[in-house]
Amino acid sequence: MTSRRWSRALALALAAVLVATVSACGVTRGGDDPDNRRLRMMIPNSPGGGYDLTGRAAAQAMEQEDLTGRFEINNVIGASGTVAMQRLLNEEGAEDVMLLMGLGVVGAVFTNKSDATVDKATPIAGLVAEAEGILVPADSPFQTLDDLVEAWQADPSSITVGGGSSPGGPDHLFPMQLAQTVGIDPNDVNYISYDGGGPLTTALLGEKIDVGMSGLGEFAGQIDSGELRVLAVSGAERLETVDAPTLREGGVDMEFLNWRGILAPPGISDKARQELVDLVTEMHGTPEWEEALERNGWIDNFMVGEEFEEFLIEQNDRVESTLKELGLA
Amino acid sequence: MDLLLDGFATALTPTNLLFAVIGVLLGTAVGVLPGIGPAMTVALLLPVTYSVEPSSALIMFAGIYYGGMYGGSTTSILLNTPGESSSVVTALEGNKMAKNGRAAQALATAAIGSFIAGTIGTVLLVILAPNIADLVVKLGAPSYFAIMLLALFAVTAVLGSSKLRGFVALFLGLAIGLIGTTTGQARLTFGEAKLADGIDIVIVAVAIFAIGEALWVAAHLRRKPLDIIPVGQPWMSKSDWGRSWKPWLRGTAFGFPFGALPAGGAEVPTFLSYITERRLTKHPEEFGKGAIEGVAGPEAANNASAAGTLVPLLAIGLPTTATAAVILVAMQNYGLQPGPQFLDANPKLVWGLLASLFIANTLLLVINLPLAPVWAKLLQIPRPYLYAGILFFASLGAYSVNFDAFDLALLGVIGVLGLAMRRFGLPVLPLIIGVILGPRIEDQLTQALAISQGDVATLWSEPVAVVVYIVMALLLVGTVVAGRRAGAVQPDPENQNKQEVSA
């Protein structure tokens, strides 16, 4: 066989496999059914992150249960979500698009001094929430939340606090609001920003920082093995998976939740809005979603309508005031 | 060992092999699109693997992963449009080789090098994963700063014949790297949120390489006769093998440790490998014109680094790169939770995964080696159409990073810079290195100083950092002495006397 024939045969085989695979994907969904609208979802961060997990889990639950046609998922990366937020506002009146967002996006919009604040969009639904945890390495002198708070109050800047988000993100907002609550000027907090949970874990295990603040999902292995210790969790209730007191039980009167939800562009019709709300409500009832909540250790934070709208405005104001005090907004 | 064989037994059923083949093809097909790196490829195709049973999904996933990585190198070599940051260096010599009619050899040395590096990397992973993990977390920002500084120091080797032009290119790169947000403050973003994360290295590389080149060719198209790209031999010759095997091994030696380091990454080892090959080669005249060593080394480094990334991931559950984060998500979806007890608790699954990686790697080689000459024929398309195609792919790549027209504008602006650099003879590699290293060096420095609250002594507080500084000092002394010796050959009486006195 000449090399020319060879290549032709190979090219044909390649094309055949591709076509077969692509069409196999096509027939599994009733995408051409007029009842099944095609929707777009924007994710404000890179693949593999918390927003991405939540968004893809929600989209998958909707697709699997045939609540809608296929989702076109798009990671709009930039400025911790500010770019995605701006993009959503630019899509004014578009009734087929939603943005998965959360507390971090609310903060990023302020730190990036953008006008694209979340109160301008159409709120659809709150989905999940995650408690933050206060983590120290196994050899840390801090055994309880009290130990930490005492040392922190005595000399605020001597304690290095690491978090997995840039300023304005949940891991940054949490220590700042915690400092405010225990009477420390947030401007004195020595916050070190790491690029996500992975590098933060490394810094904690290598004892480069004194304490880490982050959602606990990415630390499960280290917590189980005893390499990291959780001093407290930030939610109203203890977590099933982690043996640690809440802030209130530890003597600090505050609660903090990192939440994620869905927004639609401004200027969509009430009918379209209601359709999206109904769709997400239906999604919330599926076993798929139930399973995703459990698998990822997310707290069910489902809310729609006025409840979510008020929640969004309250969060927006609170974040703005914290960041203003730090001179970041 | 028995466990590994068990792993192979599960992975090698006909059905699973078929899934592996589909995975490799899909991964390569999507990975070929510039701007879509392995992380995005895996994220895009992950849902496809959910519909099959876990052991098949695992092997299909391994295929997608390796296919995605190889796809990026293919466009680097053929179209001068790297799909991801780790195959930027490949484009330097790879595309020159392609233009000389040696695309098939470049693709082959990349494929075989990737295979060898991936295999050695997987073996090292098996041996080292349980032990190395505790060590890597001891390295902090001061050590990384020192290592990055050493890498920047190495750049002086590739400044080219004119040091001035080399430094101009380097500082242009560092200046582009300054754009973005540091410690919460925007810098050089001109109030544009889309610049807040800096400019993606893929956009810079595609613009400088592909757009700059297309503009340059367009500017000269009428003056120069059309030279047809020769077809050349389809396979690697004996001398190609001879010149490739050492760079493969050296590239692996660079790539694996950097991959295993939490802040190491794949970019730094690829250009360290390139610089080393350029220093050690017996054919220095070919560098910059298509030296096979310059493809073999960086491609091996790239793949070895990917295997290295799995060390912290499997041993302590640490995803250190975007790709690793996606892999972690995939594994969690298959019911695997990497972490400290992972290797002991799930031997069967871990060995199944390692066997899958090995098989995927082999399949990639088997499928892509015969395809290399087919791909290479792409370059025989008449030049106007070829460059139209390159521009199309370059724009598609830049656009698909974020689906944003803004990136196309950036591509145009930096493309014009690329044209200007060709016009004024500025080397491109220092610029690319500046863009990659600048922000990283700065990050590590600010982090080290923030933790120490401004105490500079922290920079030499870690043993690794001290060792690196000593190496740097030795290299510096070595360079100066070598320079003096070279100078001493030229009879400069005054200088010579001084040297004799000091001796």
Query: What pLDDT was estimated at residue B222?
Result: 67
pLDDT tens figures, A77-129: 888 888 899 989 999 988 899 999 999 999 999 988 888 888 899 999 999 99
Mean pLDDT of chain B: 81
Q: Is B413 on the interface with A (CB under 8 A)?
A: no
**Cβ of A199 and B320 within 8 Å?**
yes
Q: Whole-angstrom Cα distance, residue A8 to residue B373?
A: 11
Global pTM? Answer: 0.77
Q: Spell out the residues 6+ positions from residue A29 whose beta carbon is closer than 8 angstroms to its own.
A: A36, A63, A69, A70
- Tokens coding B480: 């100066």
Residues of B in contact with A52 (CB under 8 A): 43, 329
**Cβ of A202 and B137 within 8 Å?**
yes
With CA atoms as reference, report the closest residue to A98 among A66, A68, A130: A68
Between B193, B341, B401, which is nearest A112 by CB? B193
Chain-centroid distance of CA B62 in Å reads 19
pLDDT tens figures, B108-150: 899 899 889 988 988 888 777 667 666 777 888 898 899 888 8
Q: Which residue of B has its CA nearest to A207?
A: B138
Confidence of residue B296 (pLDDT cuts 50, 70, 90): very high
Selected residues 331-350 of chain B with any CB under 8 Å from a CB in chain A:
332, 337-342
**Cβ of A221 and B197 within 8 Å?**
no
Q: Is B182 on the interface with A (CB under 8 A)?
A: no
Query: What pLDDT was estimated at residue B213?
Result: 84
**Cβ of A48 and B403 within 8 Å?**
no
Higher pLDDT, B239 or B51: B239
Between A48, A83, A221, which is nearest B325 by CB? A48
Selected residues 258-277 of chain B with any CB under 8 Å from a CB in chain A:
262-263
For tokens 């480094």, name the residue.
Answer: B301
Which residues in chain A show pLDDT less than 50? 1-34
Query: What pLDDT was estimated at residue A24?
Result: 42
pLDDT tens figures, B63-96: 888 888 888 788 888 888 887 778 888 988 999 9
Above 90 in pLDDT, residue B41? no
**Cβ of B186 and A112 within 8 Å?**
yes
For an interface test with A, give the residue of B134, B137, B369 to mutate (most A CBs within 10 A). B137
Q: Which residue of B has its CA nearest to A291?
A: B333
Tell me which DSSP letter residue B290 carries: -
Selected residues 300-319 of chain B with any CB under 8 Å from a CB in chain A:
312, 316-319
The answer to whether A180 touches A152, Cβ cutoff 8 Å, is no
Lowest mean pLDDT of A258-262, B173-177, B389-393, name the range: B389-393
Confidence of residue B228 (pLDDT cuts 50, 70, 90): low
Residues of A in contact with B453 (CB under 8 A): 157, 190
Mean pLDDT of chain A: 84
Averaged pLDDT for residues B338-357: 72
Highest mean pLDDT among A59-73, A145-159, B8-22, B312-326: A145-159
Q: Are strands A257-264 and A122-137 parallel, antiparallel or unpaired?
A: antiparallel
Tell me which DSSP letter residue A289 carries: H
Above 70 in pLDDT, residue B224? no
ipTM reported for the complex, 2 dp? 0.73
Between A11, A83, A209, which is nearest B451 by CB? A209
Between B329, B341, B403, which is nearest A53 by CB? B329
Domains, in order of start, for chain A: 39-129+257-325 (3.40.190.150), 131-233 (3.40.190.10)
Q: Which residue of A has its CA nearest to B342?
A: A221
Highest mean pLDDT among B233-242, B450-459, B485-494: B450-459
Confidence of residue B341 (pLDDT cuts 50, 70, 90): low
pLDDT tens figures, B454-492: 889 989 988 889 998 998 888 888 877 877 776 655 444
pLDDT tens figures, A265-297: 999 999 999 999 999 999 999 998 998 888 888
Q: Spell out the residues 6+ positions from residue A48 whose beta carbon is closer than 8 angstroms to its own.
A: B39, B43, B319, B322, B325, B326, B328, B329
Domain ranges of chain B: 2-461, 462-503
